[in-house]
Amino acid sequence: MGKAMRTSIFALLAVGCSEFEIKDTTSAYDDLQNDGVPDIEVAPFVIDFPNLDAAASLQATEVVTVSNVGTNVLQISDIYLADPNAPFTIDALSTPLISPGEGAQFSITFSPDTARANSTSVLIDSNDPDTPVAEVQLNGVGVAPVIEVTPSTYDFGTLYIGCDSSQPLTITNAGTADLIVSGFSFSTASTDLTFDSMETEFGSLPWTLAPSEEAAVTIDYSPLDEILDEAFLTITSNDPYTSDVLVTQKGMGDIFATQEDNFEQPIKGMTDIIFAVDRSCSMDDDIESVQDNFGTFVTVLDELDADYHVAATVEDNGCINGPDLYIDNTFDAAQAENAITTMINLGGSYGSNTEMAFMLLEATLAESLDPSGCNYGLVRDDATLAVVGISDEVEQSINSWSSYVTLFQSLKQDPDDVVIHAVGGDYPGGCTNAQGWTNEPYTGMYEATVATGGLFLSICAQDWGAYLEDLAEGSAADLSSFGLSEPPVPQTIVVKLNGVTTSVGWEYNESTNSVEFDPDNIPVGGDTIDVTYSVAGNCSQ
């Protein structure tokens, strides 16, 4: 019984015997409610949208028809997406009440925002008793580049100051269209973190990466303090969903140790120089050239303001020939040439050690250290020691070159105060001089020059004036260089000259682990030089 019919009956009972014609006031809608049921039908029930370029903001729209194949009015109460985050939008239904045999329509638009296969359903709530929720399956693929950067965050941890570490950042195109990387923006308040765009390897921007292709950039970290360092890198691309990707890096430095080295510049640099000369007959021309140009040698030493002792040894017993034990800065050039000529004694007979420079030097040094020795006073404890071997033959001493290097270095508190020079046949193949003489490589002596940082000069070039000048400069005590006791972190070195910090006129030489002053800024005698620095830690820990 409909509501209108129930109302009429209630009215009749209320008036008792009053005559009223009972009329059915049920509307057509109520009749249908009583007499039939709605039945929903949707078409299509599956929609496969075309693949769309998300970067170009393309869209596709399809129409869904909702039909009532039942016998009563179909009421649509709601239309919505099963996944509200899916890139589909629904327009309004043309009418929410659909009579039997009628239909209504609504449209669905696919607007992909990135490269992804999207699947969801449109759900239609109605008064259909059998199918209260009808479903339309939606499928659509977005075609677009997708940028992925790994790692998105990176912590270098704690590194000793002076150590460094590099971390590559991999840029991958995880999408289905070409990724165009167009820019990098690196931001940090620290100079300890640096960015390498790797454009030397991958070329200048923009980069085009095909799907699944990768490229890499690098963040380098070299801490110089104990302050937390942070950096931020933004990578810009044509990814329509994430055009700017931010990745972060951080790290901390730690001081391994600090060191202070103190020096006082001597008034003059003291150096002792001993030539071991091969007097075999094939050496006559070379020896005469040495003697004739020796004035150049002492002149250069005088110009360097060196405090020097110079001698030449040729005898098996190690004793220096002639009345002068050594040449010093009281000799003029002519006197020095006469003295060296007497010491070499070219016309004298040579012994068994003439082509054994190391053994000649060993004997000479032994006689100079013994207070009763024939050379006592030649070598001074606080002077640097330079020895020079000159021969056109292979070095033939009975022991290995390395054993003699160790022996000579043991004479000084600092092994770096010993340097070995040589003039001989080219290493490793020998050489032929202007007179056509073939000279064997000066093996043994060559290796010793390398081990001690000395000069090796070709005997075939025969430019003895220049050679002796080079040997003088290479043998004089170096007043411009101050060796450090520990390996430093170069950027932390602080130099004080007479207590005042100075940042100019010097540089750190890694190969010699020393602070070196340029010629115009060499400290004068009596100056104090204090060098403080952070000690380089073990970077492998």
Domain limits of the chain?
Answer: 3-35, 40-143, 148-254, 259-263+481-535, 266-475
Q: Which residues contact 183 (CB under 8 A, 6 or more apart)?
A: 205, 235, 236
CATH entry, 40-143, from 3.90.1170.50, 2.40.50.140, 3.40.605.10, 2.60.40.10: 2.60.40.10
Q: Choose among 3, 25, 33, 4: nearest CA to 99.
A: 33
Do the domains 40-143 and 266-475 sit in the same CATH topology, yes or no?
no
DSSP 499-526: TEEE-SSEEEETTTTEEEE-GGGPPPTT
CA distances from 541 to 192, 533, 537 (A): 20, 21, 9
| DSSP letters for 242-295 | -SEEEEEEEEEEE--EEEEEEEE--SSEEEEEEEEE--SGGGHHHHHHHHHTHH
Cα separation of the two ends of the chain: 91
Length of the chain: 541
148-254, what's its fold? Answer: Immunoglobulin-like (2.60.40)
Structure tokens at 187: 């931001």
Q: Kindly give the confidence (pLDDT) of every residue in the chain, 541 residues in length, as a single tens digit, with 9 standing for 90 and above.
A: 333 333 332 333 333 332 323 233 334 444 444 569 999 999 999 999 999 988 788 999 999 999 999 999 999 999 999 999 999 999 999 999 999 999 999 999 999 988 888 999 999 999 999 999 999 999 999 999 999 999 999 999 999 988 999 999 999 999 989 999 999 999 999 999 999 999 999 899 999 999 999 999 999 999 988 899 999 999 999 998 899 999 999 999 999 999 999 998 876 678 899 999 988 877 777 777 777 777 777 777 777 777 889 999 999 999 999 999 999 989 988 898 899 889 988 666 676 777 899 999 999 999 999 999 999 999 999 888 999 998 888 999 999 999 999 999 999 988 988 999 998 889 999 888 777 778 899 999 999 999 999 889 888 876 666 777 777 776 666 678 899 999 999 999 999 999 999 999 999 999 989 999 997 888 887 889 999 999 988 887 6
User: How, if at all, do strands 133-143 and 88-90 pair?
Assistant: unpaired
pLDDT at 230: 97
| b/e map 51-80, b = 16+ CB within 10 Å | bbebbeeeeeebebebbbebebbbebeebe
Residue for token pair 């990098």: 184
Distances (CA, A) of 426 to 391, 396, 452, 453, 537: 11, 16, 18, 17, 41
For Cα atoms 460, 461, 464, give the angle at the middle one, nearest 5 degrees: 110
Question: What span, in angstroms and rounded, lies between the C-alpha atoms of 165 and 371?
Answer: 57
Report the distance separating Cα 329 and Cα 354, nearest Å. Answer: 28
For domain 266-475, give the CATH number.
3.40.50.410
- List, as one string, the DSSP characters of 157-206: EEEEBTB-EEEEEEEEE-SSS-EEEEEEEEEES-SSEEEE--HHHH-SSP
Q: Report helix, strand or coil for 121.
A: strand
Say what the pTM is. Answer: 0.48
SS3 415: helix
